[in-house]
């Protein structure tokens, strides 16, 4: 059976623009499928057979790209910035349109996935899939592990019960640095959890995300293998 997809997704996967922008193009009567102007946002297409044109130019689907970046501090997790600040795309030499899967704060380092596969991104980010993340945290003052264990039991954050799966010291003599395991992807989640107990996070590094680890130098990147992509899909789909 032919697997058809939404027209806006087909346009986005060509690298031309985002799905939201594709919807705008459709509503502006700038998109045709097999020579006919399309206005319905729910239109389904088979990109391998249907001829899709935007402003008279035929689009072509891009091959899927999956990249692991060990993000350094001082870069925004966005595709562009109006203030001309550096983004994670400045670190990657690729012509295809890709985007980060979720976000790490400007000063946060560590594992970041970038791709042009929206389904893969959604798989990693959807809360129901409970994709694990491990962070290394440095606090502004010493903390007792028994106090921090409250974050394993759960606290109220943003009007909902929130918790870490695990929290433990980097080593038994270090009262400032801890490892945190969680399945949450909310913005500033780790920092906000510690703030609820009166601690500020001064350094935050994501050591792992799903099956991927920070096993490459900070600031460098590599392409994921087909085996790794398949493994992620087999675990979380």
Catalytic site positions: 105
What's the alpha-carbon Rg for the chain, to the nearest Å? 21
Longest pairwise C-alpha distance within the chain:
70
Sign of the four-CA dihedral 23, 29, 30, 35: positive
d(CA 162, CA 60): 43
Q: What share of the chain is helix, strand, coil (3-state, %, to 5)?
A: 25, 30, 45
Helices (H) and strands (E) in the chain, counts: 7, 17
d(CA 156, CA 158): 7
Inter-CA distances, 185 with 120, 132, 208, Å: 15, 9, 13
Tokens 């060509």 locate to 14
């Amino acid at each position: 059976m032919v697997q058809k997809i939404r027209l806006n997704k087909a346009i986005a996967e060509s690298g031309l623009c985002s799905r939201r922008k594709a919807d705008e193009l459709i509503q502006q009567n700038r998109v045709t499928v097999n020579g006919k102007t399309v206005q319905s946002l729910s239109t389904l297409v088979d990109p391998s057979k249907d001829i899709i044109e935007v402003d008279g130019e035929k689009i072509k689907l891009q091959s899927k790209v999956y990249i692991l970046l060990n993000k350094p501090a001082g870069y925004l997790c966005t595709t562009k910035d109006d203030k001309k600040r550096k983004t994670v795309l400045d670190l990657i030499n690729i012509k295809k349109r890709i985007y980060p899967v979720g976000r790490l704060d400007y000063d946060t380092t560590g594992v970041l996935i970038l791709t042009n596969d929206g389904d893969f991104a959604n798989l990693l980010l959807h809360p129901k899939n409970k994709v694990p993340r491990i962070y290394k945290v440095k606090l502004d003052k010493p903390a007792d592990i028994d106090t921090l264990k409250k974050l394993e039991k759960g606290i109220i954050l943003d009007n909902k019960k929130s918790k870490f799966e695990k929290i433990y010291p980097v080593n038994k003599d270090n009262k400032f640095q801890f490892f945190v395991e969680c399945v949450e992807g909310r913005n500033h989640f780790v920092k906000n959890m510690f703030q609820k107990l009166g601690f500020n996070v001064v350094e935050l590094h994501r050591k792992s995300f799903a099956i991927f680890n920070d096993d490459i130098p900070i600031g460098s990147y590599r392409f994921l293998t087909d085996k790794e992509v398949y493994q992620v899909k087999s675990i979380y789909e």
